[in-house]
Amino acid sequence: MNRLSAAGWLAFKLVTTVIVVFPFIFILLLSFRSMTDIYRNPLGLTGNWVPQNFVDAWNGPPGGTGFGHYFLNSVVVVIVAVVLAAVIGALAAYFVSLLPARWRSRVLMIPLIATIVPTVALLIPFFQVFSAWGMLNNPVAVGVLYAGLSLPMTILILHAFFLDFPTELREAAALDGLGHLFTFVRVVIPLSRPSLLAVSLLNLIWVWGETQIAIVLLQKATSQTIPVGVLTFQSAFMSNLGPIFAGLSLATIPVLVVYFVFNRSISRGVSMGGTFR
């Protein structure tokens, strides 16, 4: 009976794994095949090997924009957002953690309330301000916006971590005559790298996939990030599935690599209370 149920669970796990993995495998496989082969036999491996799909995806349709642009924009947005959120968030989280408990809980209400604000309530004002300040189609400005949106979770997680930071280490630093800022930069930050990394990875994954805001603020094709580019691309290439799948590969592979390298850090971030925004 026990053995039977063990076999049942294993079968269930394998089926689940197939359902989870199947899209990844086919995105990759189909991105190397020609349109006619995909239409004729999507499950098979027959036909020509077409690496040209990736070249087409990178350059885009004739006269259009391709993943070369999208990729660069996404990298810019990710770097601005992740670095800014980590620096500003860590600074705030650390100094708030030094406050007396009564004050701390009050101050933390600010990021806590911010986490429940839905994007639909923010979208139109974002557009209005970006439009009025001439920042539409500007990936750097969108990166700053993403940093702000990632701040609440970043602060809450880092604050919880800094609270447990060993007091003796900070006292030793104080005895050495280091001021608060120096203690923070020289002692606290180097010892907090795993937590900073975990939070930053969650921010990275969220920013890499964010669509609802980007589709509104980055309307010019040359300014678009990968998730918006994927949609633009789908309508541009309509019937030519090869380059579309190559584009999906380019959208997915970078985060997959990050995930496989930092998988432990990412699960740690989730268990510390992290979400994707």
Partner 1 sequence: MARAGRSGATVPARAGAAAGLRVKPGYVLVASLPALLLLVGVFAFPIVQSIQLSFSDWRGFGPIDIIGLDNYAEVLTSGEFWGSLRLTVVFTVLATTGIVLCALLLAVAVTRNQRGDGVFRAIWFLPAIVPGTAAAVFWSISVQPQTGLVNEILGLLGLGNGHAWLAQPATALYVVVGVAVWISTAFPFLLLAGAIDRVPPEIYEAARIDGAGQWRQFWSFTLPLIRAVLTMVIALQLIWNFNAFTLVYGMTKGGPAGSTTILPVLLYQEGFKNGDFGTAAAMGVLSSLILVAVGLVTLRRSAAKAAGE
Q: Which residue's CB is nearer to partner 1, number 140 or number 163? A: 163
List the one residue from 28, 75, 148, 189 that touches partner 1 (CB under 8 A).
148
| Contacts to partner 1 from residues 156-195, by CB under 8 A | 163, 167, 170-171, 174, 180-181
Contact indicator for 121, 58 with CB cutoff of 8 Å:
no
Determine, following the binding rule CB under 8 A, whether residue 119 of this chain makes contact with partner 1: yes
| Positions 83 through 102 that interact with partner 1 (CB under 8 A) | 88-89, 91-92, 94-101
**Which amino acid, one-letter code, is at 39?**
Y
Site string for partner 1, 27-56 (x = CB under 8 A): x----------xx-xxx-------------
Angle between helices 226-237 and 67-97 (to 10 degrees): 160
> Which residue lies nearer to partner 1 by CB, 129 or 191?
129
Site for partner 1 in 215-234 (CB under 8 A): 215-216, 226-228, 230-231, 234
Contact 60, 47 (CB under 8 A): no
Answer yes or no whether residue 275 interacts with partner 1 by CB under 8 A: yes
What's the rounded Cα separation, in Å, for the pair 94 and 162? 6
CB neighbour list of residue 110: distance below 8 Å, 6 or more residues apart: none
79 binds partner 1 (CB under 8 A): no
Interacting residues with partner 1 between 122 and 141 (CB under 8 A): 122-129, 131
Residue 273 near residue 156 (C-beta atoms within 8 A): yes
How distant, in Å, are the alpha carbons of 64, 84, 117, 155, 171 from that of 87? Answer: 37, 5, 23, 10, 23
